[in-house]
């Protein structure tokens, strides 16, 4: 079954579908953040849209595969950010559901799409060719984003969760550590799969 799944991911048509779906999701993600980006001081704006930047990394990875190219640094950034922000958004929206006892359709779509982001990271991890220094760079990026989010207030706006901000910040830090540890466990294995694209 695993071999069949790996072969499925090598299909050029599937890679194109995943690229287009993730590209549309990335565009919508930046659109979703539009108001917060506008309200943020210009030099911090790049740190506001977390999830769409994670899916943008994956789009670059997928486009590289379609062009028979790989970049270990982008793959490392894609993996840790997809795991972190994919899980984070699912947990936060479930937390909102717990508090408010209801969610709108957009929130349910966010849960599904962000769970898919983390799932894609796991699916493509065997193909990633990441070196230790590349994972270190990605780890620094993902950890410094915690600083920008909870010191400079660039985290996603969930007004109903504001009173839990400190606890959410602590959770986010340890989630970042988990994403890095998972990357260390899955990305630095010696026996990597080759992504020989099938027509």
Specify which residues 198 forms β-bridges with: 11
Distance CA 61, CA 70 (A): 7
pLDDT less than 70: residues of the chain? 1-3, 198-199
pLDDT at residue 72 in the model? 96
Q: To the nearest 5 percent, what fractions of the chain are helix, strand and coil?
A: 80, 0, 20
Pair 127, 193: CB distance under 8 Å? yes
Cα 94-83-4 angle, rounded to 5 deg:
110
pLDDT at 2: 64
Predicted pLDDT of residue 189? 83
Q: What is the pTM of this model?
A: 0.94
- Residue 162 near residue 96 (C-beta atoms within 8 A): no
Q: What is the DSSP string of 141-157?
A: HHHHHHHHHHHS--S--
């Amino acid at each position: 079954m695993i071999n069949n799944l790996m072969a499925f991911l090598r299909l050029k048509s599937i890679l194109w579908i995943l690229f287009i779906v993730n590209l549309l999701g990335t565009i919508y993600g930046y659109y979703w953040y539009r108001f917060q980006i506008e309200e943020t001081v210009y030099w911090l704006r790049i740190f506001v849209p977390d999830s769409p930047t994670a899916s943008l990394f994956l789009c670059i990875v997928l486009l590289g595969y379609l062009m028979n190219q790989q970049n270990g640094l982008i793959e490392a950034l894609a993996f840790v950010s997809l795991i972190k922000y994919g899980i984070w958004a699912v947990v936060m929206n479930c937390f909102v559901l717990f508090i408010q006892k209801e969610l709108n359709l957009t929130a349910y779509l966010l849960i599904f799409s962000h769970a898919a982001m983390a799932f894609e990271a796991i699916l493509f991890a065997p193909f990633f060719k990441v070196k230790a220094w590349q994972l270190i760079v990605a780890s620094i990026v993902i950890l410094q984003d915690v600083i920008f989010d909870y010191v400079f207030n660039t985290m996603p706006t969930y007004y109903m969760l504001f009173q839990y901000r400190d606890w959410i910040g602590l959770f986010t830090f340890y989630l970042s550590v988990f994403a890095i540890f998972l990357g260390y466990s899955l990305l630095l294995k010696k026996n990597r799969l080759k992504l020989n694209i099938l027509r």
